[in-house]
Amino acid sequence: MISTGTRSKIEAEMERYPQKRGALLPALYLVQAEHGYVSSDTVRELAEIMGLHPVEVMEVVTFYNLFFDRPQPRHHASVCTNLPCSLRGARVLLAQLEEHVGSKVGEPTDDGRLVLGHEECLGACAFAPMMRVDDAYHEDLDLEHAKSILDALE
């Protein structure tokens, strides 16, 4: 269920756009912040609020990298593996981090704490290697620093 608080935030977002559908991305961020992912039930509910058909919402959810249609671990830690970062050892770092957390890329840790991922370019090319942990960038990483960042995650 989308809470009344989130619902009123979504309605406020709808006011900011010439057509209320413009608020779909912000609205998906809001429901994802509340539920951790966007379930099909949430999609139905959101579609109802925004006057859309559920498939119109679902196809948007599935198009973008930052929306999830299934439950997620508590944290996402993604190492950029695009060319500038790979040139500076990002893939080696990622493999070492896989070993460190004991889970492969895309496979959440058993305790549901974390999933490692790889990202395409995040705009930190000169500060490689880097990783994005949830919303925050961590740049100019070495293995020890990266491990300590992951270890500090609750």
Partner 1 sequence: MLKVPHVTSYLTEHFAEDAFGTLAGYEKKGGYAAARKALTEMAPGDVIELVKASGLQGRGGAGFNTGLKWSFMPADSDVPKYLVCNADESEPGSFKDRILLERSPHQLLEGILIAAYAVGACTTFIYIRGEYSFPADQVERAVAEAYDQGHLGPNVLGSGFRHDVVVHRGAGAYICGEETGLLESLEGKKGQPRKKPPFPAQVGAFGMPTTVNNVETFCHVPYIVNRGAEWFRGFGTEASPGTTLFGVSGHVVKPGLFELPLGTPLSEIVFEHAGGIAGGRKVKGVIPGGMSMPILPAGQLDVPMANESLRERGTMLGTGGIMVMDETTCMVRVGCVISYFFRDESCGQCTQCREGTGWLNKIMNRIERGAGQSEDLGVLLDIAAKMEGQTICAFADAAAWPVQGLLRHFRADFEEHVRLGRCPFTASFEL
Partner 2 sequence: MPTLTVDGRVIETAEGKSILEALDDAGLLMNGVDVPHYCWHPKLSVDGSCRLCQVEVEGFPKLQIACNTVVQDGMVVNTTSDRVRKAREGVVELLLINHPLDCPICDQAGECKLQDYAFDYGVEKSRTREPRRAAKKRVDLGPTIVFDQERCILCRRCVRFCDEVPKTRELAVFGRGDRSVIETFPGMELDNPYSMNVADICPVGALTTKDFRFKIRVWFLEDVEGLCTGCANGCNIYLGIANNKVYRYQPRRNDDVNETWMCDAGRLSYRDIGAPDRLQYAYVRDATGSLEAAGYEAAIGAAARRLRAIIGSKGAGVIAGVASAHATNEDLFTFRRFIEALGTETSGVAVPKGDADDLLIKAEKAANAAGARALGLGDASLVADRIRSGGIDALVCLGSDFLGTGLLANVEELAGLDTVIVLDTHKSEFSRVAHVILPTRHAAEKHGTLTNAAGRVQRLRAAVEPAYEAHPDGAVLSHLGKALGLPGFDGSYDVRAVSKALAESEPAFSGIHLDSVGDRGRVLIDPDASQRDREPEGPNL
Measured from the Cβ of residue 75, the count of other Cβ atoms closer than 10 Å reads: 17
Q: Given the complex with partner 2, which of 58 and 93 has the nearer CB atom?
A: 58
Contact 66, 124 (CB under 8 A): no
Q: Given the complex with partner 1, which of 8 and 64 has the nearer CB atom?
A: 64
In the complex, least distance from residue 111 CB atom to partner 1, rounded to whole angstroms: 25
Q: Rule CB under 8 A: which residues touch partner 1? A: 16-19, 21-26, 28-29, 56, 59-60, 63-67, 81-84, 86-89, 91-92, 95, 119-128, 132, 135-137, 139-140
When asked if residue 45 is in the footprint of partner 2 (CB under 8 A), the reply is no
The footprint of partner 2 on residues 50-89 (CB under 8 A) is: 53-56, 58-59, 62-63
Distance of alpha carbon 74 from its chain centroid, rounded?
Answer: 11
Q: Given the complex with partner 2, which of 43 and 124 has the nearer CB atom?
A: 43
**Looking only at Cα atoms, what is the longest distance across the chain?**
49
Distance between CA atoms of residues 89 and 51, nearest Å: 47
| Token couple for 14 | 């709808």
In the complex, least distance from residue 122 CB atom to partner 1, rounded to whole angstroms: 5
When asked if residue 12 is in the footprint of partner 2 (CB under 8 A), the reply is no
In the complex, least distance from residue 63 CB atom to partner 2, rounded to whole angstroms: 5
Phi, psi angles (nearest 5°) of residue 112: 70, 20
H helices of the chain, in order, are 4-15, 24-35, 40-50, 54-63, 83-87, 90-101, 143-151
Among candidates 23, 5, 2, which has minimal Cα distance to 13?
23
- Interface with partner 2 (CB under 8 A): 40, 43, 53-56, 58-59, 62-63
